[in-house]
């Protein structure tokens, strides 16, 4: 149950005709994103965090690392856990059950996209096979909602994973043959994750006979069906999901997939450049507002 807005028939016709001519209400082309702002290291009591503002959609991600037990099927890998909190401040529809159900649906999709060995080297999160591993608890908070939640969340998660610092671990044996785990006290002595292969999600909405990326809530109201795709920096599609009540014909699916690959591939290079630039600023960056 996504947030929705009421759109009159006249507005729908206006939006549809604009998209047909590759000109959207806010002046963008069909494959353009809205203005995006990314900040990392914004929540002090996490091991990694990021805030993404995409138009009027605002997403905050915090990652906490804890030592846990590996899963029996993959004893030499760590894993990620996702929790999505849909703030009732974002839209009244997120109050009560509506927000919970959407949160669960979003968490399940994020789990499919990010918690696999092709996305992150999960073996690096293993401390001692079958006994100890790092578990990354990824908390996603939707602060404001104006369409395109998946894309904003995936960019925020990639940025927060890039920002995550995992403490170095030393294992020593005690007298009884058990294992003692010691964490390094030095905050700079930490492990970083390679996020190069972490995909970004691209949502394509079919409006009329065309498709658009980064749809606003108004445009979403004119769309019958959407295709959610996760795309790597090489343009490889790792996961697709169709949502919405309408149907997509094979030709549309092919066109949307090709557009998604193109758009998704183009997202990664500027995102990584920005993250590395922000990292190099380090502590010189001025924190503002309640992040201060």
Question: What does the pLDDT read at residue 205?
Answer: 93
Lowest-pLDDT range, 28-32, 136-140, 159-163, 167-171? 167-171
Question: What does the pLDDT read at residue 6?
Answer: 80
Taking the C-alpha atoms of residue 59 and residue 184, their distance in angstroms, rounded to an integer, is 31
Question: What does the pLDDT read at residue 156?
Answer: 95
- Dump pLDDT digits (tens) for 226-270: 999 999 999 899 989 998 888 888 998 999 999 999 999 999 989
**pLDDT of 283 above 70:** no
Question: What does the pLDDT read at residue 286?
Answer: 53
Q: Taking a C-beta distance cutoff of 8 angstroms, is the pair 37, 53 a contact?
A: yes
Report residue 17's pLDDT band, with 50, 70 and 90 as the boundaries. Answer: very high
pTM as predicted:
0.89
Q: In the chain, what's the furthest Cα-to-Cα distance?
A: 78
- Dump pLDDT digits (tens) for 202-234: 999 999 889 999 998 888 888 889 999 999 999
Q: Say how many Å lie between the first and final Cα of the chain, rounded.
A: 34
Question: What does the pLDDT read at residue 160?
Answer: 94
Residue 288: phi and psi, rounded to 5, are -125, 160
Report residue 289's pLDDT band, with 50, 70 and 90 as the boundaries. Answer: very low
273 burial (CB, 10 Å; 0-12 / 13-18 / 19+) is exposed
The strand pair at 210-213 and 169-173 is best described as unpaired
- Dump pLDDT digits (tens) for 163-186: 999 888 887 777 676 777 777 776
Domain extents in the chain? 25-281
Q: Which residue has the higher pLDDT, 243 or 287?
A: 243
- Dump pLDDT digits (tens) for 141-156: 998 888 888 999 999 9
Question: What does the pLDDT read at residue 146?
Answer: 85
How much is the mean pLDDT over the chain? 86
Compute the average pLDDT of residues 66-88: 89
- Looking at the DSSP bridge assignments, the partners of residue 66 are 135
Residue 180 CB partners (closer than 8 Å, separation 6+): 171, 172, 173, 174
Compute the average pLDDT of residues 103-115: 88
How many Cβ atoms sit within 10 Å of the Cβ of residue 284? 6
Question: What does the pLDDT read at residue 98?
Answer: 66
Written out in words, the top-level CATH class of the domain with range 25-281 is alpha beta
DSSP 8-state assignment for residue 71: P
Report residue 3's pLDDT band, with 50, 70 and 90 as the boundaries. Answer: low
- Looking at the DSSP bridge assignments, the partners of residue 58 are 53, 144
Helix boundaries (H) for 222-249: none
**pLDDT of 68 above 80:** yes
Question: What does the pLDDT read at residue 292?
Answer: 45
């Amino acid at each position: 149950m996504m947030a929705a807005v009421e759109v009159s028939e006249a507005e729908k016709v206006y939006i549809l005709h604009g998209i047909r001519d590759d000109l959207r209400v806010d002046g963008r082309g069909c494959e353009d994103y809205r203005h995006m702002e990314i900040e990392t290291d914004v929540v002090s009591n996490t091991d990694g965090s990021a805030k993404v503002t995409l138009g009027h959609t605002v997403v905050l991600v915090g990652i906490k690392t804890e030592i846990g037990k590996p899963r029996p099927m993959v004893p030499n890998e760590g894993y990620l856990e996702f929790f999505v909190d849909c703030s009732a401040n974002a839209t009244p529809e997120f109050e009560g059950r509506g927000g919970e159900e959407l949160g669960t649906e979003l968490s399940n999709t994020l789990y499919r996209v990010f918690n696999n060995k092709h996305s992150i080297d999960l073996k690096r999160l293993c401390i001692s096979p079958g006994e100890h591993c790092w578990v990354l608890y990824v908390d996603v908070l939707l602060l404001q909602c104006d369409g395109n939640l998946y894309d904003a969340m995936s960019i925020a998660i990639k940025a927060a994973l890039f920002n995550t610092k995992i403490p170095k671990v030393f294992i020593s044996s005690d007298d009884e043959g058990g294992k003692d785990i010691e964490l390094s006290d030095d905050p700079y002595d930490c492990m970083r994750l390679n996020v190069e292969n972490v995909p970004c999600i691209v949502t394509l909405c079919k409006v009329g006979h065309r498709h658009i990326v980064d749809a606003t809530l108004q445009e979403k109201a004119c769309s019958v069906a959407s295709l959610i795709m996760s795309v790597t920096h090489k343009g490889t599609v790792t996961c697709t999901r169709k949502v919405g009540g309408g149907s997509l014909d094979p030709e549309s699916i092919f066109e949307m997939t090709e557009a998604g690959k193109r758009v998704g591939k183009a997202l990664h290079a500027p995102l990584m450049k920005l993250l590395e630039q922000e990292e190099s600023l380090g502590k010189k960056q001025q924190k503002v507002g309640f992040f201060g």
